[in-house]
A and B are shown apart, each in its own frame.
Chain A
Amino acid sequence: MSKLVIRELHKAFSKNQVLKGIDLDFSSNGIWTILGPNASGKTTLIKAILGMVIPDSGNISINGETITNNWKYKDKISYLPQIAHFPDNLTVNELLKMIQELRNRTGSLESLIKEFDLKPFLNTKIDTLSGGTKQKLNLSIALMYKNPIYLLDEPTVGLDPIAVINLKKILRKLKREGKLIIITTHIIPLVEELTDKIIFLLEGKIKFCGLKAQLQQNYSSKSLEESIAALLQD
């Protein structure tokens, strides 16, 4: 099991304080969902974990090792960016090859290609792909490795229903395998269906962090949606 710990994380972009002292212990594996309105700091938090945003203060560590000025730890993380945008003139195959060369690891792509129905597009130039196919390619890149940590930014955006079902299947499987999966999403049913724990961010602070059931219990509301609304008004 890998332990991801965030301590006192602060980050400002010029005068705009985006993260105001985030403390998080991803103490158990399973699916964690980061919720929060726009500009609450979700993306910044994920980018900080990936080392793309450099914190002003605070610390992020994985298995006790700090990630500052380090890049090798990313080998343990799979990342799905929200927007799928790839070099236009590469073919799907070339892009997949590029990522594997960069990571110096062969990914297990066969089942993903089958599940997301990418086979017909392998030799197609990326700029001719539809948005949905691009998102499937995006998912394949993120999921082709067995890693201890997965960071998925809005994973269902742009997917057709069959692909969503397949994605859920994969996520459940990863959960069973004991991976830490961190998701951001706006789609509440997806949270209800998959999530173990919820982190609610508001204006750069953690408003709630705990089990899904506990959130509902806290506000004694019938649905997750209602509890979130209550959280926001609080």
Chain B
Amino acid sequence: MDKIFRYSFYDLIRGRWSISYFLFYLIITIVLFSFSNDVSMVVISLLNIIIVLVPLVAIVFGIIYFYNSKEFTELLLAQPIKRSRIFVGQFLGIATSLSLAMLLGIGLPFIFYGIFISSEISNFIVILLTGTCLNFIFVALAFIIALKNNNKIKGFGFATLLWLFLAVIYDGIFLLLLILFNAYPLERLALGLTLLNPIDLSRILIILKLDVSALMGYTGAVFNSFFGNIGGIFLAALSLIIWITIPLFFIINISNKRDF
């Protein structure tokens, strides 16, 4: 696993994708800073980019990498190593290189603009950690889709649909449920629905840090006890970790049973 990880990471980090992804974040962050010197405003603007773009790029890139390296993966499968080590290693290689591109692209301008002496440092760290988790989750989901579909076009279609569903459609259904069942106490349902979608989960984790005031403005007891203490952030973070480990388990399981 460590060897496959190391070499796929070497390979990816020197690839055109990683470098352009890094440059993209670098430019976006610098542009945001040029509009506003207020670190907290830049953090808020980055929120939308992170919860929408990171999952999309991770799932698309994960799919493309998987199909593109099909032949090399077959060569690896003929070597005396466990199957799970190959796929977990590749998964870690992609997720780590994407995360590194994101961390450096966003991080360097922030360091330049003095994040370490800013009170926003904890928000900044939460954004980066959440973005990293999203990278890992969506690369893992991409691997599951690719392992399940030999057909490239189908796999690609499923991946983009899954992203569209989790990033947009899910919240539409969520909102509709809240409006339709307005007469019932919905707080627990709302919290539950949030934990079931990694994008919503990341959004909540970040706004728990950024917009607590707005969330606290609504006085529901369940929300308050959830958002009001460290336990809420802890639970949300734990759920993100679970969102990485369960797909990982599926990757191991499917790859062990599959034909190549």
Contacts and interface: CB of A to CB of B under 8 A. Distances in A.
A83 B71 contact: yes
A90 B69 CA distance: 13
A102 B260 CA distance: 19
B148 to A, nearest CB: 13
Contact of B14 (A71, A79, A89): A89
Given A47-B260, A89-B12, A71 B71 contact: no
A54 B71 contact: no
B7 A87 contact: yes
Contacts of B258: 54
Contacts of B260: 47, 52-53
B75 A79 contact: yes
A209 B7 CA distance: 42
A152 to B, nearest CB: 12
Interface stretch (B80-88, B108-116, B224-232): B80-88
B259 A54 contact: yes
Contact of B77 (A52, A73, A88, A98): A52
A88 B15 contact: yes
Contacts of A87: 7-8, 11, 69, 72
Given A87-B72, A89-B14, A99 B259 contact: no
B3 to A, nearest CB: 5
Interface in A43-74: 47, 50-54, 71-74
B78 A101 contact: no
Contacts of B81: 71, 102
Contact of A101 (B3, B80, B83): B3
Contact of A90 (B10, B71, B257): B10
A102 B4 contact: yes
A75 interface: yes
A89 B10 contact: yes
B94 to A, nearest CB: 12
Nearest to A78: B78
A52 B76 contact: no
A28 B72 CA distance: 31
Interface string A13-52: 1000000000000000000000000000000000100111
Interface residues of B, number: 27
Contacts of A90: 7, 10-11
B80 A13 contact: no
Contacts of B69: 85, 87
B11 A71 contact: no
Nearest to A44: B259
A103 interface: yes
A79 B78 contact: yes
A72 B85 CA distance: 13
Interface in B8-27: 8, 10-12, 14-15
A98 B3 contact: yes
B79 A94 contact: no
A52 B79 contact: no
Given A13-B259, A85-B72, A75 B80 contact: yes
Interface in B61-77: 69-72, 74-77
A77 B81 CA distance: 12
B79 to A, nearest CB: 5
Contact of A81 (B10, B74, B82, B83): B74
Closest 5 CB pairs of A and B: A85-B71, A87-B11, A79-B78, A74-B80, A75-B80
25 contacts: A47-B74, A47-B260, A52-B74, A53-B259, A53-B260, A54-B258, A71-B80, A71-B83, A73-B80, A74-B78, A79-B75, A81-B71, A81-B74, A81-B75, A81-B78, A85-B70, A87-B7, A89-B15, A90-B7, A90-B11, A98-B3, A98-B7, A101-B3, A102-B81, A103-B79
Interface of B: 3-4, 7-8, 10-12, 14-15, 69-72, 74-83, 257-260
Given A85-B71, A102-B79, 13 more contacts: A53-B259, A54-B257, A75-B80, A79-B75, A84-B71, A85-B72, A86-B75, A87-B8, A87-B72, A90-B7, A90-B11, A94-B10, A141-B75
